[in-house]
Amino acid sequence: MAKLDWHADRGTHPDLALLDRAPESAGIDLAAVRLYRRDRVRAEMATRGIAAVILSDSINIRYATGTRNMQIFTSRNQPSRYLLLTADRSVLYEFTGALHLGSGYETVDEVRPSATASFVAAGPAVAERERLWAREMASTLREMCGMDPVIGVERLNAGAAIALAAEGIRLVDAQEPVEMARCIKSDEEMKCVRASLRATEAGVAELRAAIRPGLTEAELWSVLHRSVIAANADYCETRLLNSGPRTNPWFQETSSKVIAADELIALDTDVVGCHGYYSDFSRTFHAGPNRPSAHQRMLYRTAHEQVQHNMAVIKPGMTFREYSEQAWDIPEQYADHRYYLSAHGCGMSGEYPYLYHRADFPDAGYDGVIEPGMTLCVESFIGHNDGGEGVKLEQQVLVTETGIELLSEFPFEEALLG
């Protein structure tokens, strides 16, 4: 099998510095960030007796190594790019023709070509391709981890996972160790989070300045997309910008609807920004040219109250259940269209933990502890059960040893708060 070992060449390939560069990256020790994240995964593996993980979720690969390659494409076409991480070895299986992308990373010991075992790649021979992939992977696992290792997987297609189990490999779910690793950020990692947020806030400022009746939602949303991509973001994970009656209920994707005079415009950024970190805050604007109506201001102030209350509740050491019990109680007239979470973790994407509303905790909630180093997004959507416009607001915060630090600095709308 052809393979590349980059240890001898480390430092000779300029692409690593180029891929990591962002306007706000000065002063960030990106190697320390990558090593911290890789070691977090290994520590969580060790706690659970997992000898190795095979990661094929593109965000998890980036978390554990810092490498990136066509994240959306490779997430869908699996297993076309995957990482084998053991207690002392990191092998990146890279997409055809892209082995050079692992060059120079201190988190990658070896790069090998991947074997794409999918129906798209193999057609009717997919089952045989999966068996060949599993046979080779099982041999590698036993060579590196012993004869009866416990192996964690998370995004393998069904046939590949079944074939690997048929080789006698004991498989467990890798979601828990990876999510528990990702949820605690280092100080150096937080510099990446802030860099991503500042670039996204600049994009939202451009979007806000571009608002005028007569634009379509898609035209307005594209202002943010252009700005963040120019600032070395990866992509916008969702298309959540809508206006007027399309703001309620939430989760109506950006469309060709023309923004009318004096409508509300709701935005959730969901930007996978520079260094791969998620900028996730929400704002609602007013299209003008007249002042917001009393009803629009009331909706906005209600959403703002919910966010401010729930931010004040968050304390390190608090259990998820305690947070839920103390969180803002949504008025009955807005309960049907409430946002499905009260708050959620945020890192290189939305992540653990999910914190549920008081009314939803008995059915959906689970317990855990809010810990220093977690970054959380505190959510609100306020829209009447019977329809009409709605308001989406959200703030991103860091849990500290004593409370929280506000991370998202984009201002609220004084005309809607007043």
Q: What is the DSSP string of 59-73?
A: HHHHHHH---S-HHH
Residue 45: partners with Cβ closer than 8 Å, 6 or more residues away? 51, 52, 53, 85, 87, 152, 177
What is the pLDDT, as a whole number, of residue 4? Answer: 44
pLDDT confidence of residue 136:
96
The Cα–Cα gap between 172 and 118 comes to 22
Contact (CB, 8 A) for 167 and 149: no
Q: Is 19 helix (H, G, I), strand (E, B) or coil?
A: helix
Same fold, 7-181 and 187-417: no
CA 311/CA 314 separation, integer angstroms:
6
* Alpha-helical segments (H) within 49-186: 58-65, 71-76, 119-122, 126-145, 158-166, 175-182
Spatial contact of 154 and 345, defined as CB atoms under 8 Å apart: no
Distance, CA of 75 to CA of 110 (rounded, Å): 21
Give the pLDDT of residue 394.
98
Q: Angle, to 10 degrees, between the axis of helix 58-65 and the axis of helix 30-47?
A: 110
Residue that is written with structure tokens 């990256």 in the block: 25
Other Cβ atoms less than 10 A from the Cβ of 87: the count is: 13
The CB-side HSE value for 104 (13 A sphere, CA atoms) comes to 15
Instruction: Determine contact, residues 66/41, Cβ cutoff 8 Å.
Output: no
Longest dimension (CA), the chain: 72
Q: Which of 272, 347, 278, 346 is nearest to 64 (CA)?
A: 347
For residue 328, how far is the Cα from the chain centroid?
Answer: 25
Average pLDDT taken over every residue of the chain: 93
Please list the residues that pair with 319 across neighbouring strands.
369
The CATH classification number of 7-181 equals 3.40.350.10
CA–CA distances in Å: residue 69 to residues 19, 79, 347: 10, 13, 19
Angle in degrees, CA 214, 258, 199, rounded to 5: 80
pLDDT the model gives residue 78: 72
Residue 180 has a pLDDT of 98
The sign of the dihedral angle between the CA atoms of 368, 371, 376, 382 is positive
Each residue's pLDDT tens digit in the chain (418 positions)?
344 443 444 444 556 666 666 666 778 999 999 999 999 999 999 999 999 999 999 999 999 999 999 988 888 877 789 999 999 999 999 998 999 988 889 999 999 999 878 888 889 999 999 999 999 999 999 999 999 999 999 988 899 999 999 999 999 999 999 999 999 999 999 999 999 999 999 999 999 999 999 999 999 999 999 999 999 999 999 999 999 999 999 999 999 999 999 999 999 999 999 999 999 999 999 999 999 999 999 999 999 999 999 999 999 999 999 999 999 999 999 999 999 999 999 999 999 999 999 999 999 999 999 999 999 999 999 999 999 999 999 999 999 999 999 999 999 999 999 8
Q: Where are the domains of the chain?
A: 7-181, 187-417
Which pair of structure tokens corresponds to residue 202? 């600049």
pTM: 0.93
Please tell us whether the domain made up of 187-417 is placed in CATH 3.90.230.10.
yes
Pair of tokens at residue 282: 């929400």
Dihedral class, residue 275 (left if φ above 0, else alpha if ψ from -120 to 50, else beta): left
Helix/strand/coil for 286: strand
| β-sheet bridge partners, residue 380 | 393
